[in-house]
């Protein structure tokens, strides 16, 4: 199919063409080159490129996928989120750029955009999808700790998930 035909698929007339048409691109497309006065028949709408999206009608341009999301397909209504335990800093990503959270960080929900530091007293699990408390007799004093530390001689901790030991 020709490019003009492909563009017409994304267009729709909002008001009667005879009355001085106003054009509104469908979701997943934006005006190109912002000249709707020509009418949709002339192909003034184009599907969003990969890495971009248009989530409602009438947009002048497609938005880039934000960090933490990606879109490999053209004419998209939205971008895909990085899965649990992964995140991405790339804006406008066209493929899955999600990588595992660093040690000491986690992302438990797919809805979150970035990895977070494990709270004090806890360390991130190997899958980076949550945290485990330090076992009794150990602690982690600061958020984002990679390892739990054994209590010094003469000190103890009977509870798990603590940020210090006691005398």
pLDDT the model gives residue 36: 43
Report pLDDT for 101. 92
Residues contacting 1, CB < 8 A, separation 6+: none
Taking the chain (167 residues) in runs of 10, the rounded mean pLDDT of each run is: 40 40 66 46 70 82 88 89 88 87 87 86 94 96 96 95 95
- Look at residue 54 in the predicted model and tell me its pLDDT: 87
Q: Quick one: pLDDT at residue 165?
A: 96
The predicted structure's pLDDT at residue 44: 62
């Amino acid at each position: 199919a020709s490019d003009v035909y492909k563009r017409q698929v994304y267009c729709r007339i909002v008001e009667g063409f005879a009355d001085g048409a106003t054009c509104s691109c469908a979701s997943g497309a934006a005006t190109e080159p912002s000249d709707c006065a020509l009418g949709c028949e002339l192909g003034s709408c184009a599907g969003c490129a990969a890495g971009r999206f248009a989530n409602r009608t009438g947009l002048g341009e497609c938005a880039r996928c934000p960090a933490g999301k990606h879109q490999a397909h053209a004419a998209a209504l939205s971008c895909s989120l990085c899965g649990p335990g992964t995140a991405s800093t790339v804006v406008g990503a066209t493929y899955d750029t999600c990588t595992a959270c660093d040690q000491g960080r986690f992302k438990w929900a797919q809805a979150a955009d970035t990895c977070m530091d494990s709270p004090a007293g806890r360390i991130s699990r190997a899958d980076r999808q949550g945290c485990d408390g330090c076992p009794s007799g150990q602690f982690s004093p600061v958020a984002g700790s990679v390892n739990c530390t054994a209590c010094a001689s003469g000190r103890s901790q009977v509870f798990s998930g603590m940020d210090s030991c006691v005398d």
